[in-house]
Amino acid sequence: MTPQELKTSILNLAINGQMTNKVPWKDEPNGIYKYLWEVTAWDKKFKDVEKHKQPKVIKYEYVLAKDFKKLERTDGDIYLLSTGNYAGYTTEDVAGSLVSKGEVVTMPWGGSPTIKYYKGRFVTSDNRIATAIDTQVLSNKFLYYYFLSQVKYLDSVYRGTSLRHPKMALVLEMRIPVPSIQEQELIVKKIEELLPLVNGYGNAWTKLEELNQRFPIDLQKSLLQMAIQGKLVEQRPEEGTGEELFQRIQTEKVQLIKEGKIKKEKPLPEISEKEKPFDIPESWKWVRLKEICSKIVDGDHNPPSGVNAETDYLMLSATNINHNCLCELDKVRYLTKDIFEIENERTKATEGDIFFTTVGTLGRSCVFDGQKSVCFQRSVSVLTTFVYNFYLKNVLDSSYIQNYMIANATGTAQKGFYLNQVERLVIPLPPLAEQKRIVSELEKLLPLCERLK
Amino acid sequence: MSNISGFIKRIRDIMRNDAGINGDAQRIEQIAWMLFLRVYDAKEQDWEMDESDYTSIIPDNCKWSNWAHDDKSGKAITGDTLLDFVNNTLFPTLKNLEVSKDTPIKKAIVKTTFEDANNYMKDGVLLRQVINVIDELELDDYEEVHAFGEIYENILKELQSAGSSGEFYTPRAVTDFMAKMIKPQIGEQVADFACGTGGFLTSWMKELEPQVKTTEDRNKFVNSIYGIEKKQFPYMLCVTNMLLHGLDVPKIYHDNSLLYDVLDYTDKDKFDVILMNPPYGGSEKADVKNHFPTDIASSETADLFMAVIMYRLKKNGRAAVILPDGFLFGTDNAKVALKKKLITEFNLHTIIRMPSSVFAPYTSITTNILFFDNTKPTEETWFYRLDMPEGYKHFSKTKPMKLEHFNPVIEWWNNRVEESVDGFDKSKKYSAKELEDLGFNLDLCGYPHEEEIILDPLELINQYQEERASLNAEIDRILAEIKEKLGGVEL
């Protein structure tokens, strides 16, 4: 039950008489119900309303929106009756002849039915203003709560395309119950006891909604963090250590360099204690991303412009990497086969590679299934790793890496996390078999979190 | 003392090669029962000398000095023979010792300690090696036992990073601080109803010992501690810990403090001082709540322990308890009732808020120390937020919290002033009425910029369920009021 639903329900109960009688009132001829025009006076003669329905008109000075807020003074005691959520006060000196006085119920001329009640001195903006013709017959407060209970209907009465205005003829034809003044006052009293409680309910309800939205996301982050700290699955000595895996990778790299398949690399600085963000199991090892990849490249810093026709050769940007897959493929650059082949020399996207956004919306990644011909603009980096690619992807998804990237991205218009920073990222490395077990466990748990959303 | 510094490392290196030991928790469990037998054996040798009619509860073939001790005559059992003895003779014998309620505690503890103990090692040769390292310990005199007590503390500290076993260990910086501020006196008795490895009890003893001047003092000293621990493993660790601290008759019971009707407690069940870090989010069967009055019967174990404490604190007694943030901000019905009882019946004079990594790496949950006594209703409560010390981003295994980090609190303690930093309250006092007006939400003087703390999933789930329960309770209260007001009006 939303707070608004509760409020409307209570107001309706009050206004149809059920708070004060056993059965709701019936709208019968010569009964309790009257036309609004019979009991209220307004601030203008409305052109689509018959003359006899508006014998009395009470005019008020009003101020247009653009000048309204200028009247505000902190020490003022004259209420600024706006057409929206704004409220403030002004002084007699500032407002001068704009000051009105009375007990009124107001409805904005434009926008949506933000109904207000005020008694005292005020300056009004462009509101339609109603007041009871005879306060011994109709209480203005009762009128106010009646309008509040009819907000849905009133909203439908606001017509127009760009600017909506209430069709006053319809408003004046509304049927309002008018019981005795004593009963009206009792109903108002009851409503005013209940509304603060409805507000309290609204506050708690909103907090609960926010909590329920945050929780599944926080839980996913928590599970990922647990995984990359080695606490999700047990360590098994027979699977070896991160150190052993690391050495095997280095040996493989040396071989690839000999075969000319990758370039010789400058050694990266050793990882200092300060750079290690949390404790990991003894059998794991902290490594730099470059040390466990055979390829880390970014997309073209000077991408060619595409062709108009759709082709099979796509140039992607960061927008196309989201939700762990390629997306929004209607918004890509198409290239000719020849241009693609030149671009592809740079990134050589292969099945199993990880695409990783490093400019703009940072840190999104996906594992490539090899099903398309893709090359990239600068905002995406491509990694080929020696370790289990889905494990590495999960590390990149963790709060640890995500927060690190955000904290260390540079740039003014668009934040970027550049290639040399990517290469230096500090990654926790378990043995290969354990990486597989971790991913398997996450694949069971993370979808359960999705269901909580 | 022979080879103390290498002791832990040597055992770890040997055990690493045994396929039966999976992880730190099992390694510590394995060391625990062997250490217990060795320490108990040393104690028995003392008792045999001091008491003419002392008889051991342990049959001769199961005594450490007979089966484990290697007298270098080549007869010491090893390999499969040793394994067979341990698994099929030693353990079954000790688990099935005859114990009645008349058995003196110092004998009964052998059975209670071994009730759920396990031998994990699968290699008899490696087991022999470990036994020999433990046997090398010279525990003949007080100095050496005391020195070993320090080593033992280091073993216990490793629990903090041994997965879920970390729940049994409260960092000694915190227990020392609480024991210091509670000001133990000779003649007083302290209780910890979820004593884990006995940290509060040893900190109490450390703080009280300098006051021991006479034999009578010493008598009162050794009889001042009382502990209850539900789980087997920490129970064994605690008993050994007490033996190492010179308590021949440790009043530590293997029991569940929550299974007794709180309304049945009488003065003899009450204590002058209570120091505790109750478990949070624990799992108890739902009928545990039957032992508590309905209005304070919570599903959260920390809450139930608070209730037990309130029913077991002597008149004019003092208590210091570590509780999670959930207790402070929670406003579900049971918590509100508990906090109301605490503030109206007890003097909750101080709440110290601690930073989130105090219990790292076991958990990053934020905790608080509540100090209260049973003298009078609360007039005002002082809140103080302990900030991370200079140069520390968070505490960790390599950079743990130290007692000196509490110095700012200790300086402030007797000279309490209100202070705020960058617009956020750091220390402030609130009257009991103000706390009541806040609906007993005690989340005051909290940490300003919460750097994203990633809680462990189980804690996160607990915290979510607590917050959701609080909000739901609030919603239900409001709806109940609305329903009441909607019920009929006379015209």
For A102-112, the pLDDT digits (tens) are: 999 999 998 88
Among partner residues B161, B454, B464, which is closest to A211 by beta-carbon distance?
Answer: B464
pLDDT tens by residue, A304-336: 988 888 889 999 999 899 888 888 888 888 999
Contacts of A196 (CB under 8 A, 6+ apart): none
> Rounded mean pLDDT of chain A?
91
Name which of B122-136, B277-291, B408-422 the model is least confident about.
B277-291
Q: What share of chain B has pLDDT > 90, as a percent? A: 49
> Does residue B450 belong to the interface with chain A, where contact is any CB pair within 8 Å?
no
Contact between residue B259 and residue B230 where contact means Cβ atoms under 8 Å apart: no
What number is the average pLDDT over the span B64-80? 87
User: Which of the four pLDDT bands, split at 50, 70 and 90, describes residue B163?
Assistant: low
pLDDT per position as a tens digit, A402-426: 999 988 888 777 788 888 899 999 9
Of the candidates B396, B454, B478, which has its C-beta nearest A221's C-beta? B454
CA dihedral A31, A37, A41, A44 (to 10 degrees): 170
* Burial group, residue B120, by CB count within 10 angstroms (0-12, 13-18, 19+): middle
Quote the CA–CA distance of B269 and B463 in Å, as a whole number.
33
Strand locations in B326-443, DSSP E?
347-353, 367-373, 380-385, 419-421, 424-431
Residue pair B238/B155 in contact by the 8 Å Cβ criterion: no
- Cis-peptide into B361, omega within 30 deg: yes
Q: Which 3 state secondary structure label does DSSP give B392?
A: coil
pLDDT at B489 over 50: no
pLDDT in tens, B215-232: 999 999 999 999 999 988
C-alpha dihedral over A91, A92, A96, A97, to 10 degrees? 110
**Nearest-Cα residue of chain B relative to residue A210:** B468
Q: Taking residues B406-425, what's their average pLDDT?
A: 92
Q: What is the pLDDT of residue A367?
A: 94
Q: Which residues pair with A42 in a beta bridge?
A: A57, A130
**In this complex, do B468 and A237 lie within 8 Å of one another by their Cβ atoms?**
no
Residue of A nearest to B486 (CA): A19
The per-residue pLDDT for range A188-222, each reduced to its tens digit, is 999 999 999 999 899 889 989 989 998 999 999 99
Contacts of A221 in chain B (CB under 8 A): 454
Q: Give the per-residue pLDDT at B490.
A: 38
Q: Give B1's pLDDT tier (boundaries 50, 70, 90).
A: very low
CA gap B108, B254 in Å, rounded: 11
Say what the pLDDT of residue B283 is.
64
Strand B271-276 to B347-353 pairing: unpaired
Q: What are B158's two structure tokens?
A: 């490793």
Q: How many CA atoms lie within 13 A of B37 on its CB side?
A: 25
Strand, coil or helix: what is B89?
A: helix
* Position with higher pLDDT, B143 vs B430: B430
Q: State the pTM of this model.
A: 0.67
For residue B454, CA distances in Å to A220, A400, A402, B342 come to 10, 10, 13, 31
The whole-chain average pLDDT of chain B stands at: 88
Query: What percentage of chain A carries pLDDT values higher than 90?
Result: 66
Instruction: Say if residue B54's pLDDT is above 60.
Output: yes
pLDDT for B486 equals 81
Q: What pLDDT is attached to residue A283?
A: 93
Estimate the crossing angle of helix B142-157 against helix B199-208, to 10 degrees.
Answer: 140
Q: Which of these, B34, B14, B41, lies nearest to B237 by C-alpha position?
A: B34
> Span B314-342, mean pLDDT?
92
Token pair for B22? 């999976």
pLDDT digits (tens, 9 = 90+) for A129-153: 999 999 999 999 999 999 999 999 9
Q: Which residues of A touch B364 (CB under 8 A)?
A: none
Q: How many CB atoms lie within 10 A of CB A287?
A: 21
Q: Does A199 touch chain B (CB under 8 A)?
A: no
Is the predicted pLDDT of residue B124 greater than 50, yes or no? yes
